[in-house]
Structure 1
Amino acid sequence: MTTKDENSAGGDARRDASRGGRQRNTLSQSRRYHPRGQSVRDAAESDDRRRRVSTRRNERDAFSPALRLVEGGAARTPPRRTAAARQRTRLRVAETPIEAPPVARSAKARAAQRQSAVRTPPQPRRGGPSRRVIKRKLPRIANPRRRLRLGTVLILIMFVIAGGRLVQLQVTDAAAYAADALQQRLYTEVVPASRGSITDRNGELLAFSVNARFVYADPEMVEDAGEAAAMLSPLLGIPASKLEPKMQRQEDDEGNAVRFVYLARGVDATVGDTIAELGIPGVRVRADERREVPGHDLAANLIGFTGTDGNGLAGFEATYEDVLRGDDGELTYEVSGSGQKIPGGFQREEAAQPGDDLQLTIDSDLQYQVQKILAKTVEEKNAQFGAAVVMDVKTGEVVSIASAPTYDAADPFGYDEKLRVDWASGAVVEPGSIHKALVVGAALEEGLISRDDLMTVAPTIQVAETTYRDTHYHDERPMSLGGILAHSSNVGIIMLAQQLGPEKLYEYQRKFGLGSPTDAGIAGEAAGIVRPASDWYGSDHGSIPIGLGVAVTPLQMAAGYSAIANDGMYVQPSLVECRVAPDGRKTSVGDPDKHRLFSASTARDLQHLLQAPITVPDGTGTIAELPGYLVAGKTGTGQLVRDGEYAPGEVASFVGFAPADKPKYTVAVFAYTPGGGGGTVTGTAFRDIMQVTLGHFRVPPSQEEPAKFEVYG
């Protein structure tokens, strides 16, 4: 049992151990607190510091006073430190000089030194070198209540802002944002309108559209434009360098992203299906149409052709673009982020309006025959080009119009651009002697001469400095009007024109349709050149009446001769019969213009006189004689006007109508031969075309006997 003295002695022993522990170091203590690189003295000082810290902790312990009472000591309660005392302590600690630790010799020694420096501040050495002193200023302890209040206010402000924004999004601007979101999900496709067909007068298709595919891209959905272009190029036959820019992201004029770009149109259905199976992101395939021209070169100069985008580029395809094209529709629907259509989502469709069909006055079967005859003539006569026109004299309808050489309208870009010219309406040539029928008709209409009258005609005539001669030489003697036309007398025609006067002749030229386009609907139709009387000078008074110094087109001369055949009534030529709506309704393109050229009696006299060149044995047009039919017509030889100047060679022409007793159709044939050849170049072609035309339309033969003419009186 321990006595009070023993307890007191034990307490004194413990206090002595606490105070003088430095003299009671044992071997175990030395091993424990003597790390490598540290001297025995340093270890002792470190151990002493640890004991002092432990003593201070025990003094602060709440149970220390009780323990002291048990041990026989007095219960000492440490005084409560005020805030000012704590602040002074912090300042004193901060100002306490810190001895820089000695440099350790090894890495482990330096690590132990740093650890010791953190645990125990080094003691200054007496008489030693100056030491580095670091003053530390401890931060001021913040007030936690103030920070709590500030954090609470900030959180409340954030909640108020977030709540206000939610109210704005879901109440105030909800409709606008919903509309914008829907707009971003909407995708619009163009629904191409079906292009109208071009048919002949019997409904035979000359140009029409067939089922095909078109390939397009959404640049916003294309992931790699270069790779997509490389995959599509061999299938579409389009260089990748042209496809890639189309598939790159771009903006329109209003700054909006472009979502639809055509890559190719008129693609074969099999090729389109192959592209669709590739699944290229942003590339899609839809139904389309491709233009087909089954006749290839049949009426190609008239019909024209379309481009790869389906728009007309030449001929009637371009002239009647608004009629044939129709109006494209639109299909708008919602798509997902991957570009797939959302089932049951928003969808709006504006149906495409198909274009109207265009029904021409052309007869495709007759057109084929006329082109064949004309092409043969051009080849055999070494002509540079030829043109032929066949007209219905009563209605003014052009049932055939041909040019040679021509091109394939199904493959227009594989031919020279010059072959696309429609020479029947675009060639500007001198009419030559076919102009003489107009002078004779004007003289008859003005009462200057009668059909059976004779007039004395010399072999030559002088006009200004030019002498004009007849090709059929004769002495000065009386000649009939039939004889003047049969031998194509230059002198006789100039004499009639002098009686008529230049002003009156110019007036009849304009009535005849010269000097202005016929407006038959052909793009690029030429107007020709007819000068007013005030512009005549010198030899013009002799050359113009015989068809020199005048420029016309084959279509103009065909229309003028049709007026003679139509009992003097001029009817504007027409090539379009009507337009046919998708529901079958037919709409006329307008009635042709009509005006009277000659009186009916004058026209019939002229119909009779124009038989002379064919029936007179040595007439200029005997080659056009047609068994079973009375034929009226006139040959001509002029020059080609090119760029305002005469081209070398001659333009041979033959214009006439049949049956002469009851005219039905007018045929005009022209051919430009750089080497010459005269009117006989086109005489055979005129006869063959007229024979085919009368047979095709089953025109009955003439009932009258051929007219007989006496050339000289």
Structure 2
Amino acid sequence: MAPRPEEPRRDATGSRRGSSRAAGNRGGEPREPGVGGISDARSYTPRGRTVRESREERDERAGTARAGDRAARQPGLPGRSEREERTAAARRTTRADQRRARSADPFRPALQVLDGGRATAGRTGRRAAPTTRATVIRTVEPADTRAARGDEPPPRRRTPRPASTARRPSRKPRRPLLLADPRRRLRLGTVLTLALFAVIGIRLVALQAVEAPAYAGGGVTDRLRTVDLPAPRGAIYDRNGNVLAHSVEARYVFADPTRVEDVPATAKALSPLLGIPVSELAERMAPRVRPGGTPSEFEYLARGVTIDTAKKIMALDLPGIGAHRDERREVPGADLAANLIGFTSQEMVGLEGLEARYDDLLAGVDGKRIFEGGAGDLNAPIPGGRSETTEAKPGSSLTLTLDWDLQYRFQEILSDQMAKVSGSTGAAVAMDIRSGEILAQASHPTYNAADPRKSKPTDRTDAATSFVVDPGSVHKAITFGAALQEGVITPDTAFPVANVIVKGDTPFRDTHKANGRTMSLAGMMAYSSNVGTITIADRLGKEKLYEYQQRFGLGKPTGVGMPGEASGRLLPPAEWSDSSAGSVPIGHSVDATPLQMAAVYAAIANNGTWVQPRLVKETIDSEGKRTPTEPSATRPVLSPENAKALRTILEAVTTVESATGLTAAVPGYRIAGKTGTGWRLVDGKRQPGEVASFIGMAPAENPRYVIAVFAHTPGGGGGAIAGPAFRDMMGFTLRHYKVPPTAEKRPEFTVYPR
């Protein structure tokens, strides 16, 4: 593209505008040079020609300009003098004439707008030579004219300023106001708006995706509420499904320490209703901080509160005090098997007995509910807020081997007999000899397991597993059985029995004197001969006697499942003194529990096989699935023949005239057993009084049950109650289980054979 000339092109009249009406105006009147109409201004273009100028006019002007240029370059041509004349005339134009010419142009502002807001100066910003618009004429010949003459276009040169014209200091022209481009403004606004939205979007994404957990966790801790969901505790049943202990609906009372307004006054109001000291309640309601650093909003005040009591507490409308559903341990039988079952705390934690021993199994697993709640009066779950619930897992239940009816009758009989002699401690145990199951286990004294707070610790002891005694003469069955098994004696053995025997420095006498006569084994057992038993033990040897004591289960707990079961104590042969050879065979210098001795006689009744006693028959999980316990451990001690022979010898105790166990005989049944008189030991020390006992089995010809009765009577007379108590208990047991009376005739015994 050809470069744009610095000065606008002009027509023949000197006007920069040009007009489509220049050929013939209205009325044919010539216009004043330099002055044009508004239509000329509108049709003017920055190139200095009108848009209506025809192609022929442009070509004519271009040719004239070229011809003039060629003439100017050749000396003597008239065209050169004419151009010089025009140029000199233009130089003489003053600046004033230029200002007057510009001020006389009323359309100059419009031309500037059409020219892009620039003055007549060229795009380079150089100031144009001063000219007078009224006298300026076109000096450039048309290009086609110069081309016809063959002239080359003259080189452009700047016209020198006349020397006579005084140069004024240049002044930078005022820059005209540039009008804004709306499209550029729209683009800029769009870019800024998009950038703003981009920043906001990025920030929102950061808040929702990156920083959301931090902001969410910052306040949720203050809104979280935790409510414990107690797991229902498993029940305890007897062998027939009767409830011995179970949980019933109750209420627990709690405090929110952050909302309790007056701690002393609140504790004082609750103490009479809950039965808890004021100081203890005040301590529980005192503000405290949890391990996580948040204040505690839940503290138990009491559990297992009856529904009626809870209603009274809620009626007080104490700030920060509430009550919710809970459970309370209920023992329908009150003192029935209480010494075995034990009891729980208000928090449903087993404290004694089987409740403590199987607490993990019975308790189950508590649940928990965590939710977002409001504060103050709006302390309720927030809809749509965080809510997590861990369901409570109910505890398993226990089915015991106990028989409700048998247990009740045993406790009743034992209590009545103990009351006759002011007995301090008594125990009665009934066992199934084949399975080792405990059918009844009574203790005296006893207590109400439903309200254990009123009892003494000694009342809650299970005497059958913790009552440690010198068994006395009931131990003689072990000596006789070991001698039979080792072949030292036979069922027909008989020998003279003196009235006294000395071991070391201790004499041992018989209550029923034989005066040196020959006595049978049955006679020795019937009259509980100490001299005859010590003589047999001498033949057996202390090592063998100690061995059979262990095989019969003495010296260690039976593992029946009761917490705190005593193991008893055996005297090793190496520790025997000279007198031990006389005391150990007849049941002294030996510590044992009533349950251990009952297991000894159960082994004799079970054809010589010892069976581990057990109290738990099966477990029942929360879904009702029953799982039997492992079968009892067994081990042979005597051969069936020797066990039968020993049972026959023991039967003499209840049949021989003037025998020690006549009061234990049960009409219609053959009974085999043994009486005993020993001592009670506490911390290894002998206590005042005596311990009377009787252990027997029935029916003797085919035993099914073994019952052991022990009674400590500080004032004596225990022998008068042990036999009758056994008789009543065994008679009830045989009738309860519908055992038919004995059809066989009792054996005849000879005490002093000739």
Report the TM-score range of the alignment, normalised by the length of the smaller protein.
Answer: 0.7 to 0.9
In 1, Cα distance between equivalents of 2:628 and 2:746: 40
SS in 2 for 1:610: helix
Q: Confirm or deny that 1:691 pairs with 2:724.
A: no
Given the alignment, which residue of 257, 279, 298 partners 1:260? 298
For residues 58-98 of structure 1, the C-alpha deviation after alignment (integer angstroms, 9 at most, x for no partner) is xxxxxxxxxxxxxxxxxxxxxxxxxxxxxxxxxxxxxxxxx
| CA gap 1:184/1:691 in 2 versus in 1, 3 angstroms | same
Contact 2:235–2:397 (Cα < 8 Å) also in 1:
yes
Q: Confirm or deny that 1:681 pairs with 2:727.
A: no
**Structure 1 counterpart of 2:658:** 618
**Structure 1 counterpart of 2:309:** 271
Contact 1:671–1:682 (Cα < 8 Å) also in 2:
yes
| CA gap 1:318/1:459 in 2 versus in 1, 3 angstroms | same
- Alignment-mate amino acid for residue 564 of structure 1: I
CA shift, 1:346, in A, is 2.3
Contact 2:339–2:460 (Cα < 8 Å) also in 1:
yes
Contact 2:421–2:718 (Cα < 8 Å) also in 1:
no
| CA gap 1:182/1:626 in 2 versus in 1, 3 angstroms | same
For residues 631-682 of structure 1, the C-alpha deviation after alignment (integer angstroms, 9 at most, x for no partner) is 0000011111122111121110100100000101101001111122253331
**Structure 2 counterpart of 1:586:** 626
For residues 20-61 of structure 1, the C-alpha deviation after alignment (integer angstroms, 9 at most, x for no partner) is xxxxxxxxxxxxxxxxxxxxxxxxxxxxxxxxxxxxxxxxxx
In 2, Cα distance between equivalents of 1:335 and 1:425: 53
| CA gap 1:175/1:699 in 2 versus in 1, 3 angstroms | same
SS in 1 for 2:483: helix
Q: Aligned residue pairs: how many?
A: 553
SS in 1 for 2:581: helix
**Structure 2 counterpart of 1:521:** 561
**Structure 1 counterpart of 2:257:** 219
Contact 2:690–2:718 (Cα < 8 Å) also in 1:
yes
Segments of 5+ residues of structure 2 without an aligned counterpart are 1-199
CA shift, 1:179, in A, is 2.4
**Structure 2 counterpart of 1:577:** 617
SS in 1 for 2:351: strand
- Alignment-mate amino acid for residue 681 of structure 2: V
**Structure 2 counterpart of 1:90:** none
CA shift, 1:587, in A, is 1.5
Contact 1:212–1:267 (Cα < 8 Å) also in 2:
yes
| CA gap 1:709/1:187 in 2 versus in 1, 3 angstroms | same
CA shift, 1:583, in A, is 1.8
SS in 2 for 1:295: coil
Contact 2:418–2:721 (Cα < 8 Å) also in 1:
no
SS in 1 for 2:735: helix
| CA gap 1:330/1:469 in 2 versus in 1, 3 angstroms | same
**Structure 2 counterpart of 1:540:** 580
Aligned-residue sequence identity (percent) comes to 50
Given the alignment, which residue of 535, 551, 555 partners 1:511? 551
Contact 1:636–1:678 (Cα < 8 Å) also in 2:
no
**Structure 1 counterpart of 2:703:** 663
In 2, Cα distance between equivalents of 1:360 and 1:368: 15
Structure number with bigger Rg? 2
The TM-score with structure 1 as length reference comes to: 0.75
**Structure 1 counterpart of 2:267:** 229
The TM-score with structure 2 as length reference comes to: 0.71
| CA gap 1:678/1:214 in 2 versus in 1, 3 angstroms | closer
In 1, Cα distance between equivalents of 2:499 and 2:432: 38
CA shift, 1:394, in A, is 0.7
Q: How does 1:109-258 map to 2 (within 5 A)?
A: 172-258=210-296
- Alignment-mate amino acid for residue 353 of structure 1: K
| CA gap 1:458/1:244 in 2 versus in 1, 3 angstroms | closer
In 1, Cα distance between equivalents of 2:209 and 2:470: 83
**Structure 1 counterpart of 2:517:** 477
**Structure 1 counterpart of 2:177:** none
SS in 2 for 1:305: coil
- Alignment-mate amino acid for residue 345 of structure 2: G
**Structure 1 counterpart of 2:349:** 311
In 1, Cα distance between equivalents of 2:727 and 2:372: 68
In 2, Cα distance between equivalents of 1:406 and 1:191: 34
In 2, Cα distance between equivalents of 1:430 and 1:555: 13
Q: Confirm or deny that 1:287 pairs with 2:346.
A: no
Q: Confirm or deny that 1:445 pairs with 2:485.
A: yes
- Alignment-mate amino acid for residue 575 of structure 2: D
In 2, Cα distance between equivalents of 1:264 and 1:414: 18
| CA gap 1:175/1:462 in 2 versus in 1, 3 angstroms | closer
| CA gap 1:607/1:263 in 2 versus in 1, 3 angstroms | same
**Structure 1 counterpart of 2:593:** 553
**Structure 1 counterpart of 2:334:** 296
In 1, Cα distance between equivalents of 2:425 and 2:354: 21
In 2, Cα distance between equivalents of 1:235 and 1:627: 55
CA shift, 1:409, in A, is 0.9
In 1, Cα distance between equivalents of 2:234 and 2:209: 52
Q: Please, what is the CA RMSD of the aligned residues?
A: 2.1
For residues 351-374 of structure 1, the C-alpha deviation after alignment (integer angstroms, 9 at most, x for no partner) is 000011111111111111111110
- Alignment-mate amino acid for residue 422 of structure 1: D
| CA gap 1:337/1:506 in 2 versus in 1, 3 angstroms | same
Structure 1 consecutive aligned stretches of length 4 or more whose deviation exceeds 6 Å: 163-171
**Structure 2 counterpart of 1:460:** 500
- Alignment-mate amino acid for residue 644 of structure 1: G
Contact 2:712–2:718 (Cα < 8 Å) also in 1:
no
**Structure 2 counterpart of 1:498:** 538
Q: How does 1:62-141 map to 2 (within 5 A)?
A: none
SS in 2 for 1:208: strand
In 2, Cα distance between equivalents of 1:229 and 1:171: 49
Contact 1:395–1:571 (Cα < 8 Å) also in 2:
yes
SS in 2 for 1:694: helix
- Of 350-359 and 462-471, more deviation after overlay is shown by 462-471
**Structure 2 counterpart of 1:326:** 364
| CA gap 1:538/1:190 in 2 versus in 1, 3 angstroms | same
In 1, Cα distance between equivalents of 2:218 and 2:747: 87
CA shift, 1:168, in A, is 7.7
Given the alignment, which residue of 439, 464, 468 partners 1:424? 464
| CA gap 1:252/1:460 in 2 versus in 1, 3 angstroms | same
Q: Confirm or deny that 1:346 pairs with 2:386.
A: yes
**Structure 1 counterpart of 2:693:** 653
For residues 481-503 of structure 1, the C-alpha deviation after alignment (integer angstroms, 9 at most, x for no partner) is 11110111111111110010000
For residues 449-507 of structure 1, the C-alpha deviation after alignment (integer angstroms, 9 at most, x for no partner) is 11122223222222222222221112323211111101111111111100100000000
Contact 1:233–1:243 (Cα < 8 Å) also in 2:
yes
For residues 195-245 of structure 1, the C-alpha deviation after alignment (integer angstroms, 9 at most, x for no partner) is 111111111011111111112123234444345435544443434433233
CA shift, 1:557, in A, is 0.5
In 1, Cα distance between equivalents of 2:462 and 2:397: 22
| CA gap 1:268/1:482 in 2 versus in 1, 3 angstroms | same
Contact 2:711–2:718 (Cα < 8 Å) also in 1:
no
In 2, Cα distance between equivalents of 1:173 and 1:218: 33
- Alignment-mate amino acid for residue 485 of structure 1: M
Contact 1:398–1:574 (Cα < 8 Å) also in 2:
yes
